[in-house]
Chains A and B, each alone.
Chain A
């Protein structure tokens, strides 16, 4: 093998090993039982599985972390997306939200899903089950609006 290429590969390998020990805010799951939307409210089965597959990895305390989510630099990206995602909207906070906050929460869901801002493209590349059709988007939007009416009437 070409000597220069060998050195380059060695340097890259060294960088890869060194970046594994750089500390960062690693997200962990801290669910409070009964607080999650699925536990606190009756959600139709098809909607529940849609939300779990497309939203819960970043917007809940029930995130599934694949092996590569623990390897830098991907782990940094995952950590950032999950931390920011939970700040914006966390399905595990549902039970502790006020009525108004719930309405905002549901409005946010229909907006982001309808406009196809969510789920993020970078996420669906690696998660085939999060790639949803227009019809599935409409299902989520319709559910969110119905749920909002229900919350409003409560």
Chain B
């Protein structure tokens, strides 16, 4: 009985330590893999915050905008979905459909400048290509 107790005292912490160590290594491996997480570059976030985020966020009251795109949920999507969303962004920005004219009539300062539209378009295309690799 006494012998068993002693072995337990040694074994249990050893097992616990192994568990902690393996999970720590696991985490490190995951976070060091750049492909695991989709990150929106800061410059793009700034543009989207100005011209898109107002309607395309999870708390928005604009249902149609919410159905089409939730910028704050982009990073939670599967790669397959993300490609579709990025292509949607490229398409609407490329065709000059977003932000909508009616909205811009009210808030002209929310318009995308030519340079911003190009940046957004190039990013969406490149990010979708990257995911498809």
By a beta-carbon cutoff of 8 Å, the part of chain A in contact with chain B is 99-100, 103-104, 106-108, 111, 114-115, 117, 145, 148-149, 151-152
* Whole-angstrom distance between the Cβ of B126 and the nearest chain A Cβ: 13
Seed contacts A103-B80, A103-B83, A104-B83; 14 additional CB < 8 Å A-B pairs = A100-B83, A100-B87, A100-B132, A103-B81, A103-B87, A104-B84, A106-B80, A106-B84, A107-B88, A108-B84, A145-B81, A148-B84, A152-B80, A152-B83
Residues of A within 8 A of B110 (CB): none
Given contacts A99-B132, A104-B87, A104-B88, contact A148 B67 (CB under 8 A): no
B67 touches A111 (CB 8 A): yes
Residues of B within 8 A of A104 (CB): 83-84, 87-88
Q: Could you mark each residue 69-98 of chain B with 1 if its beta carbon is under 8 Å from any beta carbon of chain A, else 0?
A: 000000000111101110110000000000
Residues of B within 8 A of A148 (CB): 78, 80-81, 84
A111 touches B87 (CB 8 A): no
10 pairs of A and B residues whose beta carbons are closest in the complex: A107-B84, A152-B80, A148-B80, A103-B84, A115-B67, A104-B84, A103-B83, A104-B87, A149-B80, A111-B67
Q: Is the interface of A mostly helix, strand, loop or mixed?
A: helix
Determine if B68 is an interface residue (Cβ-Cβ < 8 Å).
yes
Given contacts A100-B128, A100-B132, A111-B68, contact A149 B78 (CB under 8 A): yes
- Considering the complex, give the chain A residue whose CB is closest to the CB of B68: A111
- Considering the complex, give the chain B residue whose CB is closest to the CB of A106: B84
Q: Provide 20 A-B residue pairs closer than 8 Å at the C-beta atoms, listed in order of the A residue.
A: A99-B132, A100-B83, A100-B128, A103-B81, A103-B84, A104-B83, A104-B87, A104-B88, A106-B80, A106-B84, A111-B68, A114-B67, A115-B63, A145-B80, A148-B81, A149-B78, A149-B80, A152-B78, A152-B80, A152-B83
B85 touches A107 (CB 8 A): yes
A145 touches B78 (CB 8 A): yes
Residues of A within 8 A of B67 (CB): 111, 114-115, 117
Residues of A within 8 A of B78 (CB): 145, 148-149, 152
Tell me, in angstroms, the Cα distance from A108 to B63 when the chains sit together: 15
Tell me, in angstroms, the Cα distance from A151 to B78 when the chains sit together: 12
Q: Please indicate which of the listed interface residues B78, B81, B128 has the most CB atoms of chain A within 10 Å of its own CB.
A: B81
- Considering the complex, give the chain B residue whose CB is closest to the CB of A111: B67
- Considering the complex, give the chain A residue whose CB is closest to the CB of B88: A104
- Considering the complex, give the chain B residue whose CB is closest to the CB of A117: B67
Residues of B within 8 A of A100 (CB): 83, 87, 128, 132
Residues of B within 8 A of A151 (CB): 80
Q: Could you mark each residue 39-66 of chain B with 1 if its beta carbon is under 8 Å from any beta carbon of chain A, else 0?
A: 0000000000000000000000001000
Residues of B within 8 A of A152 (CB): 78-80, 83
